[in-house]
Structure 1
Amino acid sequence: MKFHVKSYGCSANHAESEIIAGKLCKEGQLVNEEDAELVVLNICTVKGDKTALTEIRKVKQKYPNKKIAITGCVTDSIVAPIKQIDPEVQLINTHHIDKIDELLRVKTDVLTKAKPVKLMLPRVRRNPVVGIVPISSGCLDACGFCSTRLVKGTLFSYPPEIIVNEVRKCVDDGCKQIWITGQDTCCYGFDRKTNLAVLLKKIVEGVPGDYKIRVGMGNPRHIPKYLHELIEVMKHPNIFKFLHIPVQAGNNEVLKAMRRGHTVETFKELVNAFRNELPEMTFSTDLIVGYPTETEEQFQDTLQLVKDFKPDSVNIARFAPRPGTSAATMEQQVHGNIAKERSRKLAKVFKENALEQNKNWIGWEGEVSVEDEAKDGMNCRNYAYKLIIVRENVKAGQEMLVKIIEAHDNWLIGERIPF
């Protein structure tokens, strides 16, 4: 059967889409959406059902006669709306993608919970130089705005030896970047009496080669338990000097309402600890504006945090209620227009700060790895995971020396220089 896989959401979802394609390629052929007999939509509902339903509706309207299968973050709340769009659609949730080839033949919905280790499985990589390696599923938190735990369940850390083997396979396959991913990488191993720092050390010591690890998103509240271990292992040349730690708000009362489990002060201490040891460490964070009960004064605290913290990248989201979460039924919901304006102000402050930060990189010379194509050249990454666009055609995975000649808020421009 000719099939096509469409993926939405986080890098963990993209890793699962690669597995879906790998499993189905045993008996079928991966083709473009137009030519496919089967379209598999690997959806994300962590930020709500609306976007996922819109995408499903688009595909159904465009291809009314194609078979459609829905997998990924399939919550209880979205099942009935999907069936209204297409009663014949087959639903297979995130817990069963390792058996998707078998389940599609059965032609029944499979929405039960399970805890498979989604490693050492066939894959078709979206980018041959990037190996996406999930290290766990689920999380230990119950944040008021997030449905991750409802979808993925509680933390299940994969065995470290299997993770190391998966990384080794990626490197043997020619991957130059290894994206360590999960719903919360920072609590990895707590259910196995270990932690993320220990895992990273096992990987870099057990897998020689020319590659770099990008550590994916993790809750900052877990890092203090092994902070110094993590700082030390992050110094290894095979690890990008980069962390994605969502703070979500710059006010402690809002963080408490969100049930985040950390304070603004804890977050600042973590960032300062890393920057003291690794001055060019880069950070990405997430922020929510318009959370129920958020006042203008509390929002100003978030603005100030961005000015003080100076993150390298920020994902800004306006609060949207998600079925089954505590925030969905909270009183004092913030009006959408207010949230929209706060989002605009926050984005403006971030862009101004980020541009000034990036200007500090002008004149830097060093080695970069080519990641993929950009609009006007190639996307590259340096040791701090800074996005550098080089305006020439170079093969993905290649390494070269560049000099930074221009700065923008979210990227840098580099020119190639001789070794």
Structure 2
Amino acid sequence: MEDIEDLLVGSTGGAPPGFRLPVTAVGLKPKKTKNKPLLNKNNTLAPNIPGTQTIYIKTFGCSHNQSDSEYMAGQLSAFGYSLSDNPDEADLWLINTCTVKSPSQSAMDTLITKGKNAKKPLVVAGCVPQGSRDLKELEGVSVVGVQQIDRVVEVVEETLKGHEVRLLTRKTLPALDLPKVRKNEFVEILPINVGCLGACTYCKTKHARGHLGSYIVDSLVGRVRTVIADGVKEIWLSSEDTGAYGRDIGVNLPILLKAIVAELPPDASTMLRIGMTNPPFILEHLKEIADVLHHPCVYSFLHVPVQSGSDAVLTAMNREYTVSEFRTVVDTLTELVPGMQIATDIICGFPGETDEDFAQTIGLINKYKFPQVHISQFYPRPGTPAAKMKKVPSTIVKKRSRELTSVFEAFTPYNGMEGRVERIWITDIATDGVHLVGHTKGYVQVLVVAPESMLGTSAIVKITSVGRWSVFGEVIETIQDVNYKKTSSTRSSSENKCSPCSDPCNACASSRVQETCACGPEGCGGTTLEESAVSTNAIPQEDRSSRNLIGWLLRKRKNNVVQKMESEVSSGFKKKLEWVGESKGSWNVVDRVLLGGILVSFLTILTLLIHHGFRTLSN
């Protein structure tokens, strides 16, 4: 079956992102073997009105896939479709697939078979159909490629009509400002590029995502501004290789990170998490990356896959770095960023891996005792060079995987945290339904017992106990967000943004205790939060006299109602703002003068209007 091309009468560029083409503009191939009317969950004739059906979305794979699903859900919801977590009550299933490992693709196969048996219309998206479009499992279902997610509404509509459609070819990236329904309303997964520059011999994702394609800095910064305004508290940068960002458009990762950090609120109410980056490209910018990771608005956490502790295996994998270079990355970031946490990946049993190679991997993991290690057995992926290499016996692969897992699980990375006071950002509910999930600056998971109303907030906690995978904390105090707005067009952006170039943030970034300050107050030096947000008494007397009375009174009243509260905890956390006066229940002098000024101004304007009216009539 041929792919549907982006055809639009009178246009060579296809439809704008998110624009639903008319049916006549899309090449469709109706199913020849099935002309039965669609039935809904009640076994009655489904309505033909687009946007009235219910969609079930299942996502496999990485955070990039999750973001794609959120974009597709947003577009479907915007066109009126209902979304459900219950597959049985849905009129159509949308399955977003992952091709990294055999188990995830097997799970996809099982779900597709289940959907077919249940007579559900199916749309399969993601890396599997993009990288392996001729799979037998994809026969009889509609598919949408990784760069065609902005046209998912078309595919769903035609599939519900009984058509089998395919959208797999595209030369431009989907827009970032499409509607989105986030799985977690407080977390924005922001794809910064698709594809990569590597050619790992075991990787199937490159077949699906293709060569590197980066979004421009302005588009990404604009998206950051939008999601912060929406109330997002964590922004995850996602891609197949974050470190390679921008090499196709003449920029690099540090340029992007500095631009994004400049948009983050100075009270650190929204945090940035940098995504997975392979060693080759980050090596060129280690100090600049460390400066960003040191910033109070950025988690001191990075995912750097090593895959093996043996140079011989890395060469066979075509990973384009050595173990020594990986050590340089880890050592440099650990030295320059206090509290730095690094996660890594290991593949056990890669073709040709000897006992000595595996011993070197064990030694590397033992040396650094990483708090997170993602361990997987080698899975030969069809069409990759590694699939043709001589395999290590499966019994040995499983044995090595168990041995490495045993070594890793013996680590106690969070010992010593008990009793410490930390700032955390709370964004989720734990699987036990009792605890809320927060993270420290180093992205250590902290579980706290607190009401759900604390989701999306930041808090000061005391660590009460530690476990193998997380720590437990007791909330001491909730940190209230401060709304920062530009007060004039001439005001410096460094007063409103958490920029590494602004003095307050630089002072904070060089502090050895990042959690105790968030870009501005007494602990950081320079301009305080109160001064940055309200500019207390910042207007000279002679300047006031040149302004109108009401404007001066408004500023005066704003200054009078801002008061500082006591220090938060003994470790020196910054002071907070509390707006008082609104709840006093009484009118102070400034209130009365303000009201009087407004009345006088109103009467003056009214008098002038009446006077002008009489003059007009007399003329």
What TM-score comes out, normalization by structure 1 length?
0.94
1:362/1:404 contact within 8 Å kept: yes
Deviation of 1:111 (Å): 2.2
Amino acid across the alignment from 2:414: N
1:122 is aligned, of 153, 156, 179, to 179
Distance 1:72 1:399, change over 3 A: same
2:425/2:456 contact within 8 Å kept: yes
Q: Does 1:392 align with 2:447?
A: no
SS at match of 1:6: strand
Deviation of 1:78 (Å): 5.8
Partners in 1 of 2:209 and 2:172 — Cα distance? 9
2:366 is aligned, of 298, 307, 312, to 307
SS at match of 1:191: coil
2:73 is aligned, of 4, 17, 21, to 21
Partners in 2 of 1:151 and 1:34 — Cα distance? 30
2:131/2:204 contact within 8 Å kept: no
Amino acid across the alignment from 2:190: V
SS at match of 2:89: coil
| Residue equivalent to 1:47 | 101
1:401 is aligned, of 454, 460, 463, to 460
Q: Does 1:57 align with 2:110?
A: yes
| Residue equivalent to 1:96 | 148
2:70/2:180 contact within 8 Å kept: yes
Moved more, 62-71 or 5-14: 62-71
| Residue equivalent to 1:371 | 427
Partners in 2 of 1:372 and 1:68 — Cα distance? 31
Amino acid across the alignment from 2:118: P
Q: After TM superposition, list the pairs within 5 Å mapping 1:279-358 onto structure 2.
A: 279-331=338-390, 333-353=391-411, 355=412, 357-358=413-414
2:264/2:297 contact within 8 Å kept: no
Deviation of 1:380 (Å): 0.8
Deviation of 1:359 (Å): 0.4
Q: After TM superposition, list the pairs within 5 Å mapping 1:154-193 onto structure 2.
A: 154-193=211-250
Distance 1:135 1:221, change over 3 A: same
2:143/2:167 contact within 8 Å kept: yes
Deviation of 1:244 (Å): 0.4
1:38/1:66 contact within 8 Å kept: yes
SS at match of 1:234: helix
Q: Does 1:35 align with 2:101?
A: no
Deviation of 1:381 (Å): 0.6
Deviation of 1:52 (Å): 2.4
Distance 1:286 1:138, change over 3 A: same
| Residue equivalent to 1:72 | 126
Deviation of 1:206 (Å): 3.2
Structure 1 residues 312-367: Cα deviation after superposition (integer angstroms, max 9, x where no partner): 20110100001111110012x111111111111111111212x1x21032222111
Deviation of 1:405 (Å): 2.0
Moved more, 70-79 or 359-368: 70-79
Q: After TM superposition, list the pairs within 5 Å mapping 1:124-163 onto structure 2.
A: 124-163=181-220
SS at match of 2:66: helix
Relative contact order (alpha carbons < 8 A, sep ≥ 6): 1 or 2 greater? Answer: 1
Structure 1 residues 110-130: Cα deviation after superposition (integer angstroms, max 9, x where no partner): 222433144111000100010
Report which of the two has the higher share of strand. Answer: 1
SS at match of 1:190: coil
Partners in 1 of 2:131 and 2:173 — Cα distance? 20
Partners in 1 of 2:67 and 2:379 — Cα distance? 26
What TM-score comes out, normalization by structure 2 length?
0.65
1:117/1:158 contact within 8 Å kept: no
Partners in 2 of 1:123 and 1:378 — Cα distance? 24
Partners in 2 of 1:278 and 1:227 — Cα distance? 11
Gaps of at least 5 residues in structure 2 are 1-52, 478-567, 569-619
Amino acid across the alignment from 1:29: S
Partners in 2 of 1:278 and 1:387 — Cα distance? 19
Deviation of 1:88 (Å): 2.7
| Residue equivalent to 1:196 | 253
1:182/1:217 contact within 8 Å kept: yes
Deviation of 1:149 (Å): 1.1
Structure 1 residues 91-124: Cα deviation after superposition (integer angstroms, max 9, x where no partner): 1111201111123334411222433144111000
- Aligned positions, number: 412
Partners in 2 of 1:246 and 1:116 — Cα distance? 26
Structure 1 residues 48-67: Cα deviation after superposition (integer angstroms, max 9, x where no partner): 3x532433433542662211
Q: Does 1:223 align with 2:223?
A: no
| Residue equivalent to 1:6 | 58
Moved more, 19-28 or 200-209: 200-209
Distance 1:80 1:270, change over 3 A: closer
Structure with max Cα Rg? 2
1:164/1:207 contact within 8 Å kept: no
Amino acid across the alignment from 2:188: G
Distance 1:61 1:304, change over 3 A: same
Identity %: 35
2:236/2:275 contact within 8 Å kept: yes
Partners in 2 of 1:132 and 1:118 — Cα distance? 14
| Residue equivalent to 2:469 | 410
Moved more, 276-285 or 114-123: 114-123
2:264/2:270 contact within 8 Å kept: no
Partners in 2 of 1:358 and 1:384 — Cα distance? 11
Amino acid across the alignment from 1:335: P
Partners in 1 of 2:467 and 2:424 — Cα distance? 18
Amino acid across the alignment from 1:105: E
Amino acid across the alignment from 2:194: S
SS at match of 2:171: coil
Amino acid across the alignment from 1:123: K
Moved more, 184-193 or 71-80: 71-80
Gaps of at least 5 residues in structure 1 are none
Deviation of 1:75 (Å): 4.2
